[in-house]
Amino acid sequence: MDIGTIFLAISLIIIMFGMGLSLVKNDFIRLFQHPKAIIVGLVNQIILLPIIAYILISIFDVETDIAIGIMILAACPGGPTSNLITYLAKGDTGLSISLTTANSLITIFTIPFVVDFALTRFLDADEMIQINKLQTVIQIFVIVIIPVSLGMVLKRAKPTFADKMNKPVKIASAAVLFLVIIGLVIKKKEDLIPYLQQAGLTTLALNITTMLVGLATAKIAKLNLAQSLTISIESGIQNGTMAIAIASGILMNDNYAIAPAVYSLIMFFTGGVIIAFGIKALGPKSTNGNK
């Protein structure tokens, strides 16, 4: 395991620890108090997202490495970034955090199967990589559930300290993600333009399409505007850091990390658009779902 892979794993652990600092017991209780919104969100994140990703890959006919990278990305919904964007957009932050909590638990088991499908579907027989699903589940558990749990324990034991640490950890997480992306760009600079041409359009289409589908399904379920906006964000904003960690750290292939890295840059622009929309549509009256 090289230094870059270790650095990436540590950075993801820090990010997930930071997420744990913002979680409380009520975030789990809320999963059962508002089941309709949670179910709509999870259907979009766990089921529709990989299906839409596969359809877009087929439409755009992208290169194998990009296709696998996009499927890995689609297996990693939500994350701390979606919580932040939801908050800034005046959405239902409680719903956003609850969805992140739920999919963090569920995707431990779904990620290995989505990744295995992508490898089987897009690689030739002589290139085929067999992933150990149990080992992958354990690795994801170590870098997701354990640090989140430690963050929650600290939040419960030292709430004032945890609140003070929350912002610095988020800033550090964003800085680390930026450094990881820069490192990938430098490492793959010779292939960067072709990768950007392929991954850029497809990841942008994935981002926009899943946001629109999330909004549509929320409206069909008759959720309110704040909840609908949150489902849209949670459907379209993926955990790029997790996807990069799986590509580079577990599969040991930086080429698979290109699409998640390109996506991680794109989502800040589309996230800005939806934040502006949310502020205009919901305005100062919104409580961000925290009642």
Q: Given a cut of 50, is residue 290 above it in pLDDT?
A: no
Give the residue among 205, 223, 214, 203 at the shortest CA–CA distance from 265. 203
- The structure tokens listed for 248 are 């580079």
Helix (H, G, I), strand (E, B) or coil at 115: helix
- The structure tokens listed for 198 are 């392929």
- CB-based contacts of 118-121 (< 8 A; 24+ apart in sequence): 118/67, 118/68, 118/71, 118/72, 119/68
Average pLDDT, the chain: 81
List domains and CATH numbers for the chain.
Answer: 3-166+173-282 (1.20.1530.20)
Q: Given a cut of 70, is residue 287 above it in pLDDT?
A: no
Residues of the chain above pLDDT 90, percent: 28
**Is pLDDT larger for residue 98 or for residue 174?**
98
The pLDDT score that the predictor gives to residue 35 is 85
From residue 275, alpha-carbon distances to 170, 183, 193, 204, 228 in Å are: 18, 29, 29, 17, 13
Rounded distance, CA 130 to CA 76, Å?
20
pLDDT digits (tens, 9 = 90+) for 83-94: 878 888 888 877
pTM, full prediction = 0.81
The pLDDT score that the predictor gives to residue 223 is 93
3-state SS record for 120-188: HHHCCHHHCCCCCHHHHHHHHHHHHHHHHHHHHHHHHHCHHHHHHHHHHHHHHHHHHHHHHHHHHHHHC
**Is pLDDT larger for residue 209 or for residue 1?**
209
From residue 109, alpha-carbon distances to 50, 52, 113, 149 in Å are: 14, 20, 7, 18
Would you place residue 67 in the very low, low, confident or very high pLDDT band (cuts 50, 70, 90)?
very high
Q: Given a cut of 80, is residue 286 above it in pLDDT?
A: no
Contact 23, 101 (CB under 8 A): yes
Q: Give the mean model confidence (pLDDT) for residues 38-65.
A: 93
Q: Given a cut of 60, is residue 288 above it in pLDDT?
A: no
Contact 181, 241 (CB under 8 A): no
Cα–chain-centroid distance for residue 68?
16
The pLDDT score that the predictor gives to residue 220 is 95
Rounded distance, CA 80 to CA 238, Å?
9
Q: Given a cut of 80, is residue 242 above it in pLDDT?
A: yes
Beta bridge partners of 238: 77
Helix (H, G, I), strand (E, B) or coil at 76: coil
Contact 185, 192 (CB under 8 A): yes
Q: Give the mean model confidence (pLDDT) for residues 219-236.
A: 93
The pLDDT score that the predictor gives to residue 187 is 64
Q: Give the mean model confidence (pLDDT) for residues 113-132.
A: 79
